[in-house]
Amino acid sequence: MTIHQRSGIPSARRIVVKVGSSSISGDNAGQITALVEALAEAHARGTEVILVSSGAIATGMPYLRLDARPSDLATQQAAAAVGQNVLIYRYQDSLDRFGIVAGQVLLTAGDLENPSHRSNAQRAMERLLGLRILPIVNENDTVATHEIRFGDNDRLAALVSVLVAADVLVLLSDVDALYTRPPHEAGAERIEEVPFGDTLSGVTFGDIGSAGVGTGGAGTKVSAARLAAEAGTSVLVTSTTNVASALRGEHLGTWFQPA
């Protein structure tokens, strides 16, 4: 099913929602509750929902008594191992109210490049959805090395959208939409819609996200949106606080038309 406008989101068969580290860790950990409520509402109307969630390293940092994101790979892996466990617990604890069970899916870039691994991931995801389980996908930071990383979870979310042939990909961050320049700068204008193939020439992207715990920015969201749109998936970029309205098909954020 091709969704050509925001109002069609409630009728989508399959939706991928991606949330960044800064939106669901640290002082914003409480946003998990509202995010889960929005996902549960979509799930209740029969939509198949996949959540791509960053935040393992950021969630693990306080347990390792770290004040800032670690720069060395071994400590990142340790923080991810602890944080992924806590993160999934928080999601499941919130999902319990709606009688929804989460399924954890951890991937590396190598998994989606290797045909047999890719086919295994696709089969597992299809089965989880068929069983009405809500897959929660993250990069497998405990084993991923610098050479085989996705780079950011916006790209991972786009690749997952392609893998499962999602109708819509919703990329969430701290900012309500994409702007023609960083939104705090004078003259920044919200980009309503991006026709398929539009190069967005003349647009200057700063970083999206706060707190120094995430890796993505507005530029990575545009790259991910293009990747998904090329495969026929519509993309909406908006803020985590807007997720419920976004999944109800309200007119907000930046909409990327699919091929």
CA-based nearest residue to 24, from 47, 58, 51: 58
Task: Report H helices in the chain.
Answer: 21-24, 31-44, 56-60, 73-95, 109-113, 115-130, 153-164, 218-230, 243-247
- How far is the C-alpha of 225 from the C-alpha of 237, rounded, in Å? 8
The alpha carbon of residue 47 and the mean position of all alpha carbons in its chain are separated, in whole angstroms, by: 17
- The total number of residues shown for the chain amounts to 259
Task: Report H helices in 131-217.
Answer: 153-164
- How far is the C-alpha of 168 from the C-alpha of 243, rounded, in Å? 13
Is residue 72 marked as binding?
no
CA-based nearest residue to 225, from 18, 36, 12: 18
Is residue 173 marked as binding?
yes
Is residue 120 marked as binding?
no
Is residue 94 marked as binding?
no
- Distances, alpha carbon 123 to alpha carbons 90, 126, 164, 172, in Å: 26, 5, 9, 26
Is residue 153 marked as binding?
yes
Is residue 22 marked as binding?
no
Annotated binding-site positions for ATP: 18, 173-174
Annotated binding-site positions for substrate: 54, 141, 153
Annotated binding-site positions: 18, 54, 141, 153, 173-174
